[in-house]
Amino acid sequence: MRAIVDRLDARNGTSAHETAMRLLKVTEEAGEAAQAYLGMQGQNPRKGCTHTRGDVATELCDVILTAMVALHAFHDDPATLLASLARHRNQRLAASTSA
């Protein structure tokens, strides 16, 4: 992930504007995931089913990757932070479901 961030930083810089653009990109990618899901469900009667589960999965991966790129602007070790938060959330979920 660091290599991707380094390439983007070299190309686009690291200004506050660039950080904002990376945050907005997360929203854009989330919209594409939603669009793929709607397409998988055939929500547009004129078009029918236009996407697959694989398309939705790919778009969700794009959301995750884009969020990780944006996270680099706010934390020095995003992977460790994410792993720590995942453990914490899992512990909270386990505690709430066993109660």
Say if residue 99's pLDDT is above 80. Answer: no
Residues sharing a CB contact under 8 Å with residue 60, sequence separation 6 or more, in sequence order: 33
Distance CA 32, CA 56 (A): 9
> What's this model's pTM, rounded to 2 decimal places?
0.89
Domain count, the chain: 1
pLDDT tens per residue, range 27-48: 999 999 999 999 999 999 999 9
State which residues form the domain around 33. 2-98
Average pLDDT score over residue span 9-26: 98
Cα distance between residue 72 and residue 2, in whole Å? 8
Of 78, 53, 54, the closest CA to residue 66 belongs to 78
pLDDT of residue 98: 82
Interatomic CA distance for residues 74 and 82, integer angstroms: 12
Dist. CA 99–CA 82, nearest whole Å: 26
